């Protein structure tokens, strides 16, 4: 085991602070990574603050990890020292159940091991994420990051990227479809970029009129202010697909009304009890509300390669590790353009 510097929270109402954690020595199947950058996902905040009622402390968050390989185990042939790699929300799974065999390990029937706040099968206790100097990860959960894209702006691809790419692919969103992305935050801004790259007609659906200009720069063809009932009514029944990234339970009825007959709204944000939806709104148009969580490792690699080809990265604000508490507060106020990324060199100060 080796002691590594990290940042974490000791309780749901505590600030994140410097602490030391243990990382395992590499096994034959492991890759050891020196972390250069880590994105700040809204899920990090939910888990530090125990919003999902399953946090284990200390919580060391971080699942948008970019770094360089420093050591590999003897069974590792697809990575070598110096490679630019990424780690997302999962670091292991059973590899035997139907979900694991068919690729979407996020649905592992025995429970995928999440990058933080999951049972640590190696050391006991629970896993610690990327707000740290180093991480040791099974080779099957390490991603290759294209060298042509900006490494620090690639960090959010590992969660915000795959979480928005996967439903667009799964629901076969195609060129010319009218796609609404609800909520312009870390996930939403990636949803706009991907839907635009696929060739969809993209509508940014936001509560924040001040984000309109940015939405267009990110690739939105139109902006719809969800608080404006008149404008929402004008677009009723016109959307082929909606990607809903709102981080809390909310009134979904106005969004359901936007869908065409047989169209789907996919929830990725509100991992909590939902407000009631009027059955008539769904039944009347054979509409669907569905959910999606991150994406499998194969699909995550496909997404990274797609980003390499199309030169897609996140819009980021860099911070030092010491400024993380302020960054959390700003994310909650929707005051980030559009993802914070921590420069891990600052942890060495
Ligand atoms: P974020 O950066 O905070 O963005 C969320 C956006 O939603 C905000 O910028 C805001 O956009 C809008 N919003 C916030 N509160 C709202 C409200 N009460 N009503 C309507 N709109 C509201 O968060 P994120 O990092 O993108 O994450 C979004 C959610 O997805 C979080 O809950 C996170 O835990 C979850 N998540 C899920 C997965 C998954 O696999 N399913 C993966 C990662 C994250 P506007 O200002 O444009 O309205
Ligand atoms: Zn995340």
Complete DSSP assignment for 122-149 = TTSSB---SSBSEEEEEGGG-EE--TTS
Pocket probe mutation, ligand 1, options 247, 333, 335, max atoms within 8 Å of Cβ:
247
Q: Is 300 part of any domain?
A: no
Q: Provide DSSP, 227-272.
A: T-HHHHHHTTT-EEEEEE--SS----HHHHTTEEEEEEEEE-S--S
The residues, ordered by sequence, that sit 6+ positions from 133 with a Cβ below 8 Å of its Cβ are 4, 5, 6, 34, 35, 344, 347, 348
The CA R_g of the chain, rounded to the nearest whole Å, is 20
Residues 19 and 115 in one domain: yes
Q: Is 10 part of any domain?
A: yes
The residues, ordered by sequence, that sit 6+ positions from 325 with a Cβ below 8 Å of its Cβ are 15, 16
- Provide the 8-state DSSP code for 207: S
pLDDT along the chain (349 residues), means of 10: 96 98 98 98 97 96 98 98 98 97 96 97 97 98 97 98 98 98 97 98 97 97 98 98 97 98 98 95 98 98 97 98 98 95 95
Residues 65 and 189 in one domain: no
What is the domain-level CATH number for residue 195? 3.40.50.720
Query: How many Cβ atoms sit within 10 Å of the Cβ of residue 319?
Result: 18
Q: Is 343 part of any domain?
A: yes
Closest residue by CA, ligand 1 atom 10:
183
User: Which of 306, 272, 294 is CA-nearest to residue 99?
Assistant: 294
Ligand 1 site residues (CB inside 6 A) read 41-43, 46, 159-160, 163, 183-188, 206-208, 211, 245-248, 250, 268-269, 271, 293-294, 331, 334
Residues 275 and 325 in one domain: no
Q: How far is the CA of 57 from the centre of ligand 1 (A)?
A: 24
Q: How far is the CA of 188 from the centre of ligand 1 (A)?
A: 7
Residues 136 and 94 in one domain: yes
Give the helix/strand (H/E) hosting 319. strand 316-320
Residues 149 and 9 in one domain: yes
Alpha-carbon distances, residue 140 vs 39, 69, 100, 134, 231 (angstroms) = 21, 14, 11, 18, 47
Q: Is 237 part of any domain?
A: yes
- Angle at the Cα of 249 (from 243 to 253), degrees rounded to 5? 65
H helix and E strand count, the chain:
11, 17
At 272 the pLDDT is 92
Sign for the pseudo-dihedral over CA of 23, 29, 35, 40: negative
Name the closest ligand to CA 89: 2
Residues 146 and 57 in one domain: yes
At 135 the pLDDT is 98
> Residue 41 in 3-state DSSP?
coil
Residues 121 and 21 in one domain: yes
- Compute the CA torsion angle 65, 69, 73, 77 (nearest 10 deg): 100
> Residue 286 in 3-state DSSP?
coil
Specify whether the backbone of 50 is left (phi greater than 0), alpha (psi in -120 to 50) or beta.
left
Domain range spanning residue 191?
A: 161-291
Measured CA to CA, the distance from residue 88 to residue 187 in angstroms comes to 14
Residues 86 and 202 in one domain: no
Backbone angles phi, psi at 256, to 5 degrees: -55, -40
Q: How far is the CA of 226 from the centre of ligand 1 (A)?
A: 15
Residues 208 and 273 in one domain: yes
User: Which of 166, 191, 187 is CA-nearest to residue 179?
Assistant: 191
- Domain end, chosen from 291, 322, 340, is at 291
Round the average pLDDT of the chain to a whole number and report it: 97
Q: How far is the CA of 316 from the centre of ligand 1 (A)?
A: 16
Residues 144 and 201 in one domain: no
CB crowding 34-51: b at 16 or more within 10 Å, else e: ebbbbbbbbbbbbbbbbb
Residues 154 and 205 in one domain: no
What is the domain-level CATH number for residue 110? 3.90.180.10
Closest residue by CA, ligand 1 atom 12:
183
Q: Is 146 part of any domain?
A: yes
Closest residue by CA, ligand 1 atom 9:
185
Q: How far is the CA of 233 from the centre of ligand 1 (A)?
A: 23
At 349 the pLDDT is 79
Residues 199 and 257 in one domain: yes
Q: Is 302 part of any domain?
A: no
Q: How far is the CA of 66 from the centre of ligand 1 (A)?
A: 22
Q: How far is the CA of 197 from the centre of ligand 1 (A)?
A: 21
Measured CA to CA, the distance from residue 338 to residue 331 in angstroms comes to 9
Q: Is 296 part of any domain?
A: no
Closest residue by CA, ligand 1 atom 27:
42
Closest residue by CA, ligand 1 atom 11:
183
At 1 the pLDDT is 86
Domain count, the chain: 2
Pocket probe mutation, ligand 1, options 167, 183, 184, max atoms within 8 Å of Cβ:
183
Q: Is 306 part of any domain?
A: no
At 283 the pLDDT is 98
Express as a percent the part of the chain with pLDDT over 70: 100
């Amino acid at each position: 085991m080796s002691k590594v510097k990290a940042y974490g929270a000791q309780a749901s109402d505590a600030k994140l602070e410097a602490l030391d954690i243990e990382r395992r020595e590499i096994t034959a199947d492991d890759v050891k990574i020196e972390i250069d950058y880590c994105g700040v996902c809204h899920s990090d905040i939910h888990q530090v603050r125990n919003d999902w009622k399953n946090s284990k402390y200390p919580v060391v968050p971080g699942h948008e990890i970019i770094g360089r390989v420093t050591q590999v185990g003897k069974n590792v042939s697809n990575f070598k020292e110096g490679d630019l790699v990424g780690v997302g929300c999962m670091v292991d799974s059973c590899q035997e159940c139907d979900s694991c065999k068919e690729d979407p390990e996020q649905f592992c029937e025995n429970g995928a091991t999440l990058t933080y706040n999951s049972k640590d099968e190696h050391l006991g206790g629970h896993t610690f994420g990327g707000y740290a100097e180093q991480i040791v990860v099974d080779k099957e959960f390490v991603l290759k990051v294209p060298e042509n894209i900006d490494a620090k702006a690639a960090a959010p691809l590992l969660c915000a990227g795959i979480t928005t790419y996967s439903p667009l692919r799964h629901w076969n969103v195609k060129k010319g479809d009218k796609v609404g992305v609800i909520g312009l935050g870390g996930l939403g801004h990636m949803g706009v970029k991907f839907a635009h790259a696929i060739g969809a007609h993209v509508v940014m659906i936001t509560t924040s009129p001040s984000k309109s200009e940015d939405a267009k720069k990110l690739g939105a063809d139109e902006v719809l202010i969800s608080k404006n009932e008149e404008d929402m009514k004008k677009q009723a029944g016109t959307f082929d697909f909606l990607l809903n990234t709102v981080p809390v339970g909310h009134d979904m009825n106005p969004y359901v009304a936007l869908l065409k007959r047989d169209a789907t709204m996919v929830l990725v944000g509100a991992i909590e009890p939902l407000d009631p939806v009027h059955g008539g709104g769904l039944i009347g148009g054979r509409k669907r509300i569905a959910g999606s969580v991150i994406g499998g490792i194969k699909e995550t690699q496909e997404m990274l390669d797609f980003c390499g080809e199309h030169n897609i990265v996140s819009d980021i604000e860099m911070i030092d590790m010491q400024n993380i508490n302020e960054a959390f507060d700003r994310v909650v106020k929707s005051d980030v353009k559009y993802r914070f990324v921590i420069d891990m060199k600052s942890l060495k100060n």
